[in-house]
Amino acid sequence: MIELKDIVEAAAKLRGVIHDTPLYPSEVFSRENDQHVFIKPENLQVTGAFKIRGAYNKIARLGAEDRRKGLIASSAGNHAQGVAYASQLLGAASVIVMPKPTPLIKVEATRKYGAQVVLFGDMYDEAYEEARRLEKENGYLFIHPFDDWDVMAGQGTIGLEILNDLPDCDIILVPVGGGGLISGIAVAVKAMNPKVKVIGVEPEGALTLKTSLEKGKVTRLDTVRTIAEGVAVRTAGEMTFEVVKKYVDDIISVSDYDLQESFLLLLEKHKQVAENAGVLSLAALKKLPQKGMKVVSLVSGGNIDVLTISAMINQGLVSRGRIFCFSVELTDKPGELLKITTLLSKCGANIIQLDHNRFKSLDRLTKVQLEATVETNGWDHLDEITKAMKEGGFEIVRVY
């Protein structure tokens, strides 16, 4: 296994190549979760994610002959950019195999760093198999995204930075895919201060390491289903599994709805954009049983396309009760719609859309169905609207 000295050496190699991203306190996440929350913004890192740390450390440690073979990697996006950028800096050619559904922003960014991009398969594991096939066929050197000691050591430099900035922190929350990030961080942190708890966070639809730990061996998931495509990995690493088993204190799971809420809060309150996998650690804050702790949430990356940002904002508004859509059956006579809009106005709800449709009602001759979408201030406001409608004689059904 890697040791603290390997991570310290990696930090020396990375000096001048990456940003030492500073911790900053989050009042909003602290208040919402009854914790003292500090954010480690690796979404502001070179290439937009933490992956450059491990990729650069690995490639920098290769000999000139190995680099001349050409490098190949498989990635859902961030490791791809890390390998491509590091290869460019160190004078090596690179080929990156990415799953076909990878967001276009990640594909184009990888190409801009000089890599040849091959799109293959519907998920990471299929891209991985194709990369290993091309490695054998062309004599390339494969740079693994997580199951590699040098890669883990590079990612572990984050642990050094966190404890240098906040030596008395209690908990570090780390997004988990294949396990390389949390492995490196856990080794560094436990060597520096064993009292600090290192807790991984996985999406409910990709419980790769959690399942493996429960079964006592690396276990391949039949399927993965999550909006956090950056951690949609069906099989954890053999080496990372051993490190996680030894050093990681717990694995927490969060839902896609939790991710949408956290994404919106980070964007709205801190003016920072993160990718879906990047906010796993923020979504996990509400799952911690301990309160009043100094908690570091690692935001692991920010490479997200504009269309996904739009969808995440809308879904986040719904998840936090800020957008409310309901249907109500009205008597088909003049003035009924006015009653509804008047009630909404008195409640201070901003109408976004109204769909007044008599063909949706079972009684088309005397009834009409109204579907209304309104902007609210949250769940309490939503309850106030529902109560006002009932007192006004209208039984509403929530659509979302």
Please report how many Cα atoms fall inside a 13 Å half-sphere around the Cα of residue 395, on the Cβ side: 2
Strand, coil or helix: 311: helix
Q: Determine contact, residues 328/389, Cβ cutoff 8 Å.
A: yes
Q: Please, what's the largest Cα pairwise distance for the chain? A: 83
Q: Determine contact, residues 195/242, Cβ cutoff 8 Å.
A: no
Give Cα separations from 4 to 1, 59, 187 (angstroms): 10, 19, 7
CA distance 218 to 370: 52
Q: Determine contact, residues 55/83, Cβ cutoff 8 Å.
A: yes
40 counts as catalytic: no
- Indicate the Cα dihedral angle 43, 194, 209, 34, nearest 10°: -60
Please tell me which residue in 13, 40, 51, 58 is annotated as part of the active site: 51
Angle at 30 between CA 185 and CA 32, to 5 degrees: 120
CA distance 69 to 63: 10
Sign, CA dihedral 148-154-155-157, equals positive
Please tell me which residue in 75, 183, 253, 300 is annotated as part of the active site: 300
Q: Determine contact, residues 49/106, Cβ cutoff 8 Å.
A: no
Residue for token pair 């309901």:
326
According to DSSP, the β-strands at 294-299 and 323-331 are unpaired
CA distance 73 to 119: 12
Phi-psi region of 137 (alpha: psi -120 to 50; beta: other; left: phi over 0): alpha
Number of Cβ within 10 Å of residue 397's Cβ equals 11
210 counts as catalytic: no
Task: List the beta bridge partners of residue 109.
Answer: none
H or E segment at 310?
Answer: helix 306-319
Strand, coil or helix: 271: coil
Beta-sheet strands, E only, within 92-151: 94-98, 116-119, 141-142
- Report, as residue numbers or ranges, the catalytic residues: 51, 300
